[in-house]
Amino acid sequence: MERLYLKTAPLGQKTTDDIYAGLNRRVNSGERGVCPVDITTVFLRLCQSQSCGKCAPCRIGLGRIVELLEKILAGNGKLEDLELILTTASAVSDSADCAIGFEAADMVLGGIEVYRKDFEAHVNQGSCIASNQAVRCIWNCPAHVDVPGYIALCGQGRYEDAIRLIRKDNPLPSTCSLICESPCEKFCRRGIIDNTVNIRAIKRAVIDRVGKIPPDECAPKTGKKIAAVGGGPAGLTAAYYLSRMGHEVTIYEKRKFLGGMLRYAIPLYRLPDRFLDADINAILATGVKSVMQTEIGKDIPFDELREKYDVVLVTIGAQGGKALDIPGGDCEGVLLAGKLLSDIIDNSPPDLKGKNVVVIGGGNVAMDAARTSIRLGARSVRCLYRRRMEDMTALPEEIEGAVAEGVEMVMLRAPLRVESSGGKVEALVVQPQIMGEYKAGRPSPRKANLPQERIECDVVIVAIGQSIESEHFSKCGIPIHYDKIRTHLSCAIPEMTGVFAGGDCIFGPATVIRAIEAGKVCAANIDNYLGFSHQIDSGVKIPPPSHKQQYMCGRVTSMEREALVRKNDFALIELPITDEEMLQECSRCLRCDHRGLGALKDGRSFRW
């Protein structure tokens, strides 16, 4: 008689797996504006279905919470029921045997803590106050670019109209076609079917298929003058829209070229000058003036700008680099990643040929510094990070690209000191780490019970963050909090009439599309402050959606030049998609702007 049997999958296992896969896709692409009471109830039912029923807190407690939540959803709830939910969930959290129970209870407690007003609205008025986000790609884009609109235009070959539509909300389409982190794709509803639409690749396809497109006409001159301090993405965006509104705008930039961190911190293999220059030239074509190599506070006092202009806009970005605060961190051979990248643009790159380089950091700047070091002829490049690779803040494709080009990732190592000989870097001493408790939503490393390690190297590149050079503005009375300029949500600076600020200098180092959002907000509110209410409109008519049935179809992936070739030069590494791929990807768009709630409200903003 047999004692053991080979395990075989149950007959319905594949169907169950498909259900879970579909559920996972739906959750990943799920609405962020749905009723929090409803979504809590639905997830709690799922958790209840997973319960084995052994322990009473999970078996009885979760069921009781579901009953109370359904009572509130039906409009029959009382505030006492809400308190009973909290009491029951706390008891389940403290006494459930396993994570199925206590994690479900913790989810309920956290949901009520954050969305207390929504739960109380269901009790007091029998309805929800949540705001549904009809078109997720538009909502998730900080600049609210009309994504379905320009995809539809691209699918019909109307490339110039597509650019005009993008410029209604984003005056840097060429730049964003290469380096935008594409938050619009994160919750694309196409992901419920198969995978999200490759929106950035479509934008790149549009850029590659059009020539020089002049900006739309500007409104009549208003006679108002505005100074923008800083020529990065926020300053350029605000200048573009204010100029289109009829105001006279002058950008003051302390460097030789406009672009800010777009030009001086992003390597040419990711963003060639011709793409950035195309956007800047279109902005200048609206009549925007620029004063280069002029630093406010050094060459021109800030107060002088306030006297000369009706409005002063501060968009200085976060171009400073954070130094390595360890022994030996100031010796020769320790470089800041930001300065390394900007020196290349200024035609004065450091000599890394044949040297062993260690890059400290786990973000996109660290990846840029590491991959740039490879291109400058370094013998070896190691990227040191105190957490795990999955904890790195760099984009996954940037990490994969660095590894493919020969960068070695050294994880769970914290720098202790830089050893030198004759004042020059000789080695970096590190302490192994172990991942510990969660803090602020992510696991924190702590010192491992292992000996220190010595990594021999010639150059140490520090990429641990950027700082905001706001000291002068603080002296002029602008409120500063931890180097960041304090503003209202309108980007107006408190108690400083006619002074606004936007971009990285108010919310810290962020993405290009967030800086564009800030520039757009600044432009609209400066226009209002000056007593106007100009409207920005593209004048482009969007084609209606196709009624073809949607089938599962794979996402088109942008390809890159071979790593063994591209690592030897600074030429653009990303290859454009073909016409066939572009049309297929455009056809995958579900046109949420014309479906469901998107057809009724919030589907499209024709002007702002």
Inter-residue contact 69 to 140 (CB < 8 Å): no
Q: Give the model's pLDDT for residue 539.
A: 87
Q: Give the model's pLDDT for residue 585.
A: 95
Rg, C-alpha atoms of the chain: 27
Tokens for 562, please give them. Answer: 């071979």
Q: Give the model's pLDDT for residue 96.
A: 87
What CA–CA distance (Å, rounded) separates 405 from 563? 5
Instruction: Determine, yes or no, domain membership for 566.
Output: yes
Torsion angle of the four alpha carbons 435, 439, 441, 446, in this order, in degrees rounded to the nearest 10? -10
Instruction: Round the average pLDDT of the chain to a whole number and report it.
Output: 91
With b meaning 16 or more CB within 10 Å and e meaning fewer, what string describes 499-513? bbbbbbbbbebbbbb
CATH number at residue 68: 1.20.1440.230
CA 162, 166, 167: angle at the middle one, nearest 5? 115
What CA–CA distance (Å, rounded) separates 565 from 380? 17
Residues 327 and 453 in one domain: yes
The domain tally of the chain equals 4
- The DSSP symbol for 232 reads S
Instruction: Determine, yes or no, domain membership for 17.
Output: no
Count CA within 13 A, CB hemisphere, residue 600.
5
What CA–CA distance (Å, rounded) separates 587 from 591? 9
Q: Give the CA distances from residue 464 to residues 61, 385, 470, 509, 523, in Å, rounded to whole numbers and listed in that order.
A: 46, 10, 19, 12, 32
- The DSSP symbol for 59 reads I
Residues 281 and 387 in one domain: no
Residues 369 and 432 in one domain: yes
Looking at 464, 487, 519, the residue that finishes a domain is 464
Strands of 248-252's sheet, edge to edge? 289-291, 248-252, 225-229, 311-314, 499-501
Inter-residue contact 498 to 530 (CB < 8 Å): no
- Classify 372 as helix, strand or coil: helix
Residues 238 and 355 in one domain: no
Instruction: Determine, yes or no, domain membership for 424.
Output: yes
Inter-residue contact 608 to 241 (CB < 8 Å): no
Looking at 125, 155, 184, the residue that finishes a domain is 125
What CA–CA distance (Å, rounded) separates 578 from 486? 46
Beta bridge partners of residue 228, listed in sequence order: 251, 313
Inter-residue contact 58 to 97 (CB < 8 Å): yes
Instruction: Determine, yes or no, domain membership for 286.
Output: yes
- The helix/strand count (H/E) of the chain reads as 24, 18
Residue 444: which H helix or E strand, with range?
A: strand 442-447
- Which residue in 103, 104, 61, 118 sits closest to 84, CA to CA? 61
Strands of 408-410's sheet, edge to edge? 334-336, 459-462, 356-360, 380-384, 408-410
Residues 313 and 433 in one domain: no
- Which residue in 566, 572, 575 sits closest to 269, CA to CA? 572
| Ramachandran angles phi, psi of 483, nearest 5° | 75, -15
Instruction: Determine, yes or no, domain membership for 562.
Output: yes
Positions in the chain whose pLDDT score sits under 70: 1, 30-33, 131-133, 596-603
What CA–CA distance (Å, rounded) separates 230 from 451? 47
Q: Give the model's pLDDT for residue 227.
A: 96
- Which residue in 431, 378, 434, 382 sits closest to 403, CA to CA? 382
Residues 327 and 427 in one domain: yes
CATH number at residue 189: 1.10.1060
> Residue 428 contacts by C-beta under 8 Å, 6 or more apart in sequence?
358, 384, 415, 417, 418, 419, 454, 455, 457, 460
Residues 335 and 435 in one domain: yes
Q: Give the model's pLDDT for residue 324.
A: 87
Residues 230 and 303 in one domain: yes
Q: Give the model's pLDDT for residue 597.
A: 61
Residue 197: domain span: 136-214+540-545+552-599
DSSP codes, 135-195: SHHHHHSTT---HHHHHHHHHTT-HHHHHHHHHTT-S-HHHHHHH---GGGTT-GGGGTS-
- Classify 311 as helix, strand or coil: strand
Instruction: Determine, yes or no, domain membership for 28.
Output: no
DSSP H helical ranges for 247-392: 261-264, 273-284, 302-308, 337-345, 364-375
Looking at 106, 125, 144, the residue that finishes a domain is 125
Q: Give the CA distances from residue 413 to residues 31, 328, 461, in Å, rounded to whole numbers and listed in that order.
A: 39, 17, 15
Count CA within 13 A, CB hemisphere, residue 5.
4
CATH number at residue 278: 3.50.50.60
Inter-residue contact 302 to 450 (CB < 8 Å): no
Token pair 């919030």 is found at 602
Beta bridge partners of residue 481, listed in sequence order: 484
464-483 pLDDT tens trace: 989 898 888 888 889 998 88
DSSP H helical ranges for 228-322: 233-244, 261-264, 273-284, 302-308
- Which residue in 365, 289, 321, 318 sits closest to 501, CA to CA? 318
Instruction: Determine, yes or no, domain membership for 378.
Output: yes
Q: Give the model's pLDDT for residue 538.
A: 87
Residues 472 and 459 in one domain: no
- Which residue in 201, 257, 258 sits closest to 231, CA to CA? 258
Q: Give the model's pLDDT for residue 187.
A: 85
Instruction: Determine, yes or no, domain membership for 534.
Output: no
Residues 308 and 328 in one domain: no
CA 562, 564, 569, 570 torsion-angle sign: positive
CA 527 to mean position of chain CA atoms: 27
What CA–CA distance (Å, rounded) separates 174 from 274? 9
Amino acid occupying residue 367: M
Residues 334 and 446 in one domain: yes
Residues 448 and 339 in one domain: yes
Total-model pTM? 0.89
